[in-house]
Amino acid sequence: MRFIETKLEGCFVIEPTVFKDDRGYFMESFNENTFEKGIGKKIHFVQDNQSYSSKGVLRGLHYQCGEHAQAKLVRVLEGEVLDVAVDLRPNSKTFGHYESIILTAENQKQFFVPRGFAHGFLVLSDTATFFYKCDNFYNKESEGGLIYNDPTLNIDWQTPLDYLIISDKDKILPTLQNAKKVW
């Protein structure tokens, strides 16, 4: 398993070792000891989530605040998505910056998003099955979010914004300047 730190400290692209033969493939998607060595800290995941979406669906940018903050390990089981993390740590050199990566069932890459980040993804293929592990339980009262088209963030979604399918809840999220504080 290879861990590649992004320009956002603590965010990692993870390339698992994949063993292929004429039967298909085998890979280890998570190993607590390997993961701890790779990112430099122990993470204990407590919840798994999965979503299925159509092309153009944008989910996010969401986060959990305070004691309910969550780190996530995300991957795509079917299809292709543009995955995005936004640094919301107030003392970070990259506060308000984002990192994006294409995750596909074929490339089998994973993305580790630590606590203190907003997270979202856009489905680029006809459909996608998205899977993620969280290190803290979801808490509705601690939920926050950022509007996908915040001009301060200037996220390149690689798709014309007119074609996006966005929930009513996500259409009215605040900008970074007006967001519920993560810390």
Q: If residue 116 lies in a helix (H) or strand (E), which one and from where to where?
A: none
The pair of structure tokens assigned to 6 is 């992004």
> Which residues have a catalytic role annotated?
62, 132
- Going residue by residue through the chain (183 aa), what tens digit of pLDDT does each one get? 999 999 999 999 999 999 999 999 899 999 999 999 999 999 999 999 999 999 999 999 999 999 999 999 999 999 999 999 999 999 999 999 999 999 999 999 999 999 999 999 999 999 999 999 999 999 999 999 999 999 999 999 999 999 999 999 999 999 999 887 765
